[in-house]
């Protein structure tokens, strides 16, 4: 949550900071600000979206260094005063910060002579630095001394008037440095500066970085280290809208390409194996008795979908837990338990906490993520990348499909290694994965039909999504997408649970969106559909195409079909629910890419 951008170089800093904040707005959009560094600091801050800040910025300045921030509120409402950067009493020091300073009340009490002008926890940081400067410390030493007082999580960048250097450090909140031909960039995400460079260095926890005209210097435990530079694989235009009205719609339509990237080079259909570059020792895999999947939000639903595949293929108990609720308990043997952390960003605070609990217990941990160099990759024993490319829309879309596809390949890899997955079943599952890109494209080609249903029911009182087995997590994910971006009441249910309470809410103004594909026990779910139809509820159903789609008759108000590809048909059906949510929200004029109260990367617990 929240976005950071900083620059030191030969070019004018203000346009770089302004554009970088716009690129980062999916991480927070309650307020924004910049600090331009010269002999004095020049600060501009404004509540609201980045465009509000841009409206008060000058056309140009001569500054060639500065920092910026776009905020997602935690401490204090979104006001001009609470916007970052925050400064000290003298205006010499400015700080941008992601995370939470847990002991800020105690620090404020230590500084009674200082004047605080915001409600934020961040503001204590520049005042701590000011105190050190007043005591005679050099700027770098003053920042390092202030850091010693901080408890909590942070990614922060500091600039000091009259000083050519920017100072940066992180703890449980990401920071990445970009190396350009005419300057050095720092951001909370590579999208902050992707149009300028693809050569990056990911800072590790407690690294202390100094950025100046000579580039980047990194200190670890007080010693200089040679920072590793990685080259990003995706192009700058991957983070652009490319003519779409919203990032979310673009990313929905990118799913066939993202899935091709996910599975490329990983499927050996003839051999019935998956090659996912994971070094899980065969004796260990043969000994495991349980797989635990931990995740949050959309990643949690991806984990629930994949758990059904994993348990069948690997032939061990597979559980899925919301990461914020996770404890390694219940008498489990850590040496026989594999903990799989699913997180798009690799920085999700609750998921990282779950990983650390599993690590402390002695279990082996594996990350499934989209982000090279992320914290979860460094803190787990093994990792698999979903390779979906950057996702800017706050509501996850293409990463859900790529996570499930990657976990399906992991299922084949472990199942074949253990000897629990027969060759013919492995070939069937791999064939289903391989057909995903074309199957999803067929859904995208039918967008007009799902849009018509969305517009017809946009003003409904509530929306219920139902499914069984592999259709159940898709129902939950479909409801999540709709509530995230339309702000309508939407719930997902196991279809059989309707008659155990939720049916009391069903009326003619509560459309029911039903999963009736293979892999979702369609015959049983049809009985539940009849129950809601008897109460007058309209039904939008996704079924498996039986070749009779052009007959013109249907038992449902709207019937949409997916190709017959086997176990992953409910995953393909989910694309209809994404499109449905998008068009309902668009009809209502919602802020689709930046829904209220939400941010993309949840880096606070």
pLDDT in tens, 414-431: 999 999 999 999 999 999
Instruction: Provide the terminal-to-terminal Cα distance of the chain, rounded to the nearest Å.
Output: 11
Q: How far apart are CA 564 and CA 545, in angstroms?
A: 6
What is the per-residue pLDDT for 602? 53
Q: What is the CATH number of domain 259-434?
A: 3.40.50.10490
pLDDT of residue 393: 84
Which of helix, strand or coil describes residue 441? helix
Which of the residues 2, 45, 398, 481 is marked catalytic? Answer: 2
Tokens 């009340």, located at residue: 105
The active-site residue out of 45, 250, 398, 600 is 600
Q: Rounded to whole angstroms, how far apart are CA atoms 560 and 502?
A: 24
What confidence score (pLDDT) does residue 232 get? 79
pLDDT at 30: 84
Angstrom distance (rounded) from CA 229 to CA 585:
41
pLDDT of 550 reads: 47
Q: What is the pLDDT of residue 24?
A: 82
41-48 long-range contacts, CB within 8 A, separation 24+: 41/87, 41/91, 41/92, 41/93, 41/94, 41/159, 41/161, 43/85, 43/87, 43/91, 43/94, 45/80, 45/83, 45/84, 45/85, 46/80, 46/83, 47/78, 47/79, 47/80, 47/82, 47/83, 48/78
From 439, 417, 597, select the one nearest 518 (Cα to Cα): 439
Predicted local distance difference test score (pLDDT) of residue 391: 84
Between β-strands 176-180 and 152-160, what pairing exists: parallel, antiparallel or unpaired?
unpaired
Architecture of domain 3-239: 4-Layer Sandwich (3.60)
Check if 600 is active-site: yes
The domain locations on the chain are: 3-239, 259-434, 444-587
Helix (H) or strand (E) holding 465: strand 463-467
- Asked whether the whole model's pTM tops 0.85, one would answer no
Residues of the chain with pLDDT under 50: 550-551, 603
Dist. CA 399–CA 396, nearest whole Å: 6
Question: Looking at residue 100, what is its pLDDT?
Answer: 86
Is the CB of residue 52 less than 8 Å from the CB of residue 6? Answer: no
Q: What is the fold of 444-587? A: Rossmann fold (3.40.50)
The answer to whether the 259-434 and 444-587 domains have the same CATH topology is: yes
């Amino acid at each position: 949550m929240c976005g950071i951008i900083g620059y030191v170089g030969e070019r004018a800093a203000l346009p770089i900071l302004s554009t970088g904040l716009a690129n980062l707005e999916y991480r927070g959009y309650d307020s924004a600000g910049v600090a331009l560094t010269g002999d004095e600091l020049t600060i501009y801050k404004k509540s609201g979206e980045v465009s509000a800040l841009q409206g008060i910025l000058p056309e140009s300045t001569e500054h060639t260094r500065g920092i910026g921030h776009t905020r997602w509120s935690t401490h204090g409402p979104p006001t001009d005063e609470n916007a970052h950067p925050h400064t000290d009493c003298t205006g010499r020091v400015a700080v941008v910060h992601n995370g939470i300073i847990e002991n800020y009340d105690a620090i404020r009490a230590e500084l009674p002579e200082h004047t605080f002008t915001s409600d934020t926890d961040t503001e204590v940081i520049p005042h701590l630095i000011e105190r050190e400067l007043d005591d005679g410390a050099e700027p770098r030493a003053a920042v390092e001394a202030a850091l010693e007082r901080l408890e909590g999580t942070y990614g922060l960048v500091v600039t000091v008037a009259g000083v050519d250097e920017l100072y940066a450090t992180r703890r449980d909140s990401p920071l990445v440095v970009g190396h350009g031909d005419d300057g050095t960039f720092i951001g909370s995400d590579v999208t902050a500066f992707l149009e300028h460079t693809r050569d990056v260095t990911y800072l590790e926890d407690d690294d202390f970085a100094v950025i100046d005209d000579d580039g980047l210097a990194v200190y670890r435990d007080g010693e200089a280290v040679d920072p590793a530079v990685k080259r990003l694989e995706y192009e700058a235009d991957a983070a652009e809208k490319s003519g779409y009205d919203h990032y979310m719609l673009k990313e929905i339509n990118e799913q066939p390409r993202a899935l091709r990237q996910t599975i490329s080079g990983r499927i050996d259909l003839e051999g019935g194996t998956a090659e996912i570059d994971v070094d899980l020792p065969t004796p260990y895999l043969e000994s495991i008795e349980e797989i635990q999947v931990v995740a949050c939000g959309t990643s949690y639903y991806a984990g629930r979908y994949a758990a059904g595949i994993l348990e069948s293929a690997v032939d061990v108990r597979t559980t899925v837990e919301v990461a914020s609720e996770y404890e390694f308990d219940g008498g489990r043997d850590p040496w026989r338990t594999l903990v799989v952390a699913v997180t798009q960003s690799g920085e999700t605070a609750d998921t990282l906490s779950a990983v650390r609990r599993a690590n402390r217990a002695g279990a082996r941990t594996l990350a499934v993520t989209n982000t090279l160099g992320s914290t979860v990759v460094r803190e787990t024993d093994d990792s698999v990348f979903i390779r979906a490319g950057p996702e800017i829309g706050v509501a996850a879309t293409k990463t859900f499909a790529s996570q499930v596809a990657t976990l399906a390949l992991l299922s084949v890899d472990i199942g074949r290694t253990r000897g629990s997955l027969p060759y013919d079943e492995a070939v069937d599952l791999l064939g289903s994965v391989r057909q995903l890109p074309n199957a999803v494209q067929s859904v995208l080609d039918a967008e007009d039909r799902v849009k018509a249903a969305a517009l017809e029911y946009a003003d409904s009182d509530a929306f219920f999504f139902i499914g069984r087995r592999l259709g159940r997590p898709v129902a939950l994910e479909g409801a999540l997408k709709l509530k995230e971006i339309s702000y309508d009441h939407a719930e997902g249910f196991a279809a059989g649970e309707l008659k155990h309470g939720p049916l009391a809410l069903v009326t003619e103004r509560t459309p029911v969106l039903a999963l009736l594909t293979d892999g979702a026990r369609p015959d049983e779910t049809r009985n539940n559909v009849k129950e809601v139809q008897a109460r007058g509820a309209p039904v939008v159903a996704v079924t498996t195409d039986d070749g009779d789609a052009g007959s013109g008759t249907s038992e449902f108000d709207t019937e949409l079909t997916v190709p017959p590809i086997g176990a992953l048909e409910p995953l393909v059906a989910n694309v209809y629910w994404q499109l449905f949510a998008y068009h309902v929200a668009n009809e209502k004029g919602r802020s689709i890419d930046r829904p209220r109260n939400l941010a993309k990367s949840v880096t606070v617990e």
